[in-house]
Amino acid sequence: MRRILVLVSDLGAGGAERVVVSLASAWVQRGLEVHVVATFSSRPRQHYQLPGAVSFTRLADFPGCTGRNPTAYWRRLSRLRRLALHIEPDVIVSFLTNVNVLGLLATTGADIPVIVSERVDPSSERETSWLLRRLRWATYPMAAGIVVQTARAGVSLASMIAGSTHVEVIPNPLPPDFPSAPREVRRAAGRKCVVAAGRLTWQKRFDVLIDSFSLVAGRFQDWDLKIWGEGELLESLIEQVNRSGLQGRVRFHGRTDSLWARLLEADLFVSSSDFEGFPNAMLEAMALGVACVTTDCPSGPRELSQDGDLAHLVPPADPEAMAVALQALMSDAAARERLGQRASEIVRRDYALPVILDRWNHLIEAVLR
């Protein structure tokens, strides 16, 4: 029986964490032994739950492993190495750049193959520190395999990493509890809504989205904008809404534990990001049959939309162009229905959990061979 050790920062509300839980759950259902270790320096609120058959350990629960000082980092590194040698996995699968670096350093010389999963496109990243980029450059050649979410990210990463480490493109799957069929088309009279979701940070450019909505709100009085997520820009975005005179038309709903349930209420989904690793919210909206407008940002939307065939692509940071795309779909229910149905068929076929799981399994077996 294969034994897999999965490394992740923790089980918060991020996309990588959701993928970890989806893969771990599927692996134990197929009879594999799965251990998950969270490497984060503290104990944040756990958003996702693992099945009972999966062993879950936090490095922060061990003495001296909390905090972000050099001593605590060294202790986490040492503790992770001891855990890996004790578990004796056939393979380690790691998610997120800082976790990948830690996992590769901790297992140096241990004869355990490590597959690292990079969650950003290195050509567009702005939040990764110079030190972490250097550590990635130094350690990734030690990986048995590197997984990226898009072909563009794969090209970017391959050009930065020395050696012949194999880079594999494996996108995120739909979650295991996702509805088995697209939603019924909304035909009821009443107010309609544009839905957006994500952390309220500059990366997501909700300020651009609000400007775009303000350009069309006067013509479409029966439409509202709902934004799901939380973050440090909430107050400034509320002030922007008030200045635009859109109080009551633009609403912030905070974090949701089940985004797809919120997307069932949407008539249109919009992503306004400057860059993405892989747009999970857009993936779920498309799978539900919700028509999408998205910025053509690096990386993910163009590949996910098949060069704009399954969603309307607009330039980043261009509220006028986004307003044109919004208006085209807000004014045409039949066009929204056609776009949503076509996207749902293809996304459900290509991003179903069994399909993505098979790609992971093929990579693991190739690495072990």
Strands 114-117 and 192-197: unpaired
The model's pLDDT over 84-124, given as tens digits with 9 standing for 90+, comes to 999 999 999 999 999 999 999 999 999 999 999 998 888 77
Q: Locate tokens 């775009």: which residue?
A: 212
State the average pLDDT over residues 3-16.
Answer: 92
| CA-wise closest residue to 312 among 328, 300, 299 | 328
SS3 279: coil
Check whether the bond before 299 is cis (ω within 30° of 0). yes
Average pLDDT, the chain: 92
CATH code for residues 192-350: 3.40.50.2000
User: Residue-wise over 18-36: b if at least 16 C-beta within 10 A, else e?
Assistant: bbbbbbbbbbbeeebbbbb
**What's residue 311's pLDDT?**
98
Sign, CA torsion 231/232/233/238:
positive
What confidence tier does 187 reach under pLDDT thresholds 50, 70, 90?
low
Task: Please tell me the predicted confidence (pLDDT) of residue 359.
Answer: 97
- Break the chain into its structural domains and give their ranges: 3-173+352-368, 192-350
pTM to 2 decimal places = 0.90
> What is the number of alpha carbons within 13 Å of residue 112 lying toward its C-beta?
28
By the 8 A CB rule, do 156 and 123 touch? yes
Q: Using one digit for the tens of pLDDT, what is the confidence trace for 226-243?
A: 999 999 999 999 999 999
Is CATH 3.40.50.720 what the domain over 3-173+352-368 is classified as, yes or no? Answer: no
Which amino acid, one-letter code, is at 47?
H
3-state secondary structure 152-221: HHHHHHHHHCCCCCCEEECCCCCCCCCCCCCCCCCCCCCCEEEEEECCCCHHHCHHHHHHHHHHHHCCCC
- For the CA atoms of 211, 243, 276, 309, the dihedral, rounded to the nearest 10 degrees, stands at -20
Q: Are 174 and 284 in contact (CB under 8 A)?
A: yes
Over residues 56-66, mean pLDDT = 94
Residue 62: CB atoms within 10 A of its CB come to 16
What would the pLDDT profile of 274-312 be if each residue is shown by its tens digit?
988 899 999 999 999 999 999 999 889 999 999 999 999
Choose from 177-191, 211-225, 260-274 the range with maximum mean pLDDT.
211-225
| The residue to which tokens 């496109």 are assigned | 121
